[in-house]
Structure 1
């Protein structure tokens, strides 16, 4: 399943689980957007007033009409341009793996990386070179072992990934551990 298909599936699941058609959600969101709310405020409103998970609220806010922010697809496309195009299937596989952890996973593209969040950030995907994506993980004081390196900064650990084959059971286990800590 690619990222776009995962987004469509998430939106269908929101519609089914809430019993509210997407068109109704979008109308509600656009009404609040007309009042001046930005995406982050819309997400908070959807969570507090409608009981949605962070991931579902974010998905609805992103899927509704643009609110002046750069669309995440554009940010991701920019990250995987200029010689890094061959890394895009690897990125897509990592996002699919992260999305499988729970319906509260938020994929939040930034200018140079993509944050994976739950109640807080648990991982960051960064196209570090033309041949590698660094998967930053928040694993607290877990010891470095094998491919798992300790780092400093926004994440406590990092795994360097150069091929889809390296998105294996070990990486899935590490990503799940970071997700469970968030």
Structure 2
């Protein structure tokens, strides 16, 4: 388990008085099966922040990289039926890795979180025809390809849609680099 996840788990116990396993049991008793439903339950009924609710939801549903038996399997599931986006993902990953040695790629069930000290991007094969990059740039005014995020419940501040490799441009890479720099 990565250090950031372990710190979150330790802080969950410290902040709530209950362990991760306790919270997983509470969620399971509610018979909640969807990530969004678990987030809503924990935020509404237990005043969780998004980060803690997200942690408990992923661990309950076993949809995070640490719960998967093989990270590559998790990635391949994301791209099932969307295999035409794999070359774009590989190019994005290589370009992001070139930004620094402190980058962690953490696959989840439907996206890949890209982190330094904190998440600065998300790689999301959203649909068969839409690939999205979530970008964290608090306070940045949207411009050009950088759109405001309206979907991710605060996990990122902006989105960039890149539907095919030809749309992957210097502007996209510049926004990713700016987010990387801000996360350090």
- Tell me the TM-score normalised to structure 2 length: 0.61
Partner of 2:75: 76
Q: 1:129 to 1:69 in 2, by over 3 A?
A: closer
Distance 2:4 2:157 in 1: 30
3-state secondary structure, aligned to 2:180: helix
The within-5 A match list for 1:25-44 is: 39-40=1-2
Q: 1:84 to 1:68 in 2, by over 3 A?
A: closer
Residue-pair matches, total: 121
Give the drift of 1:165: 2.0
Map 1:10-159 onto structure 2 (within 5 A).
39-40=1-2, 69-81=68-80, 83-152=81-150, 153-159=154-160
CA–CA distance in 2 between the matches of 1:143 and 1:105?
25
Deviations 1:85-125 (A, max 9, x none): 11111111111111111011111101100000001100001
What runs of 5+ residues in structure 2 fail to find an aligned partner? 7-65
**Which runs of 5 or more residues in structure 1 are unaligned?**
1-38, 45-66
Q: Is the 8 A contact 1:122 1:137 kept in 2?
A: yes
Query: After TM superposition, what 4+ stretches of structure 1 lie above 6 angstroms from structure 2?
Result: none
Q: Which SS does the other structure have where 2:171 is aligned?
A: helix
Deviations 1:7-61 (A, max 9, x none): xxxxxxxxxxxxxxxxxxxxxxxxxxxxxxxx235997xxxxxxxxxxxxxxxxx
Higher relative contact order (CA 8 A, sep 6+): 1
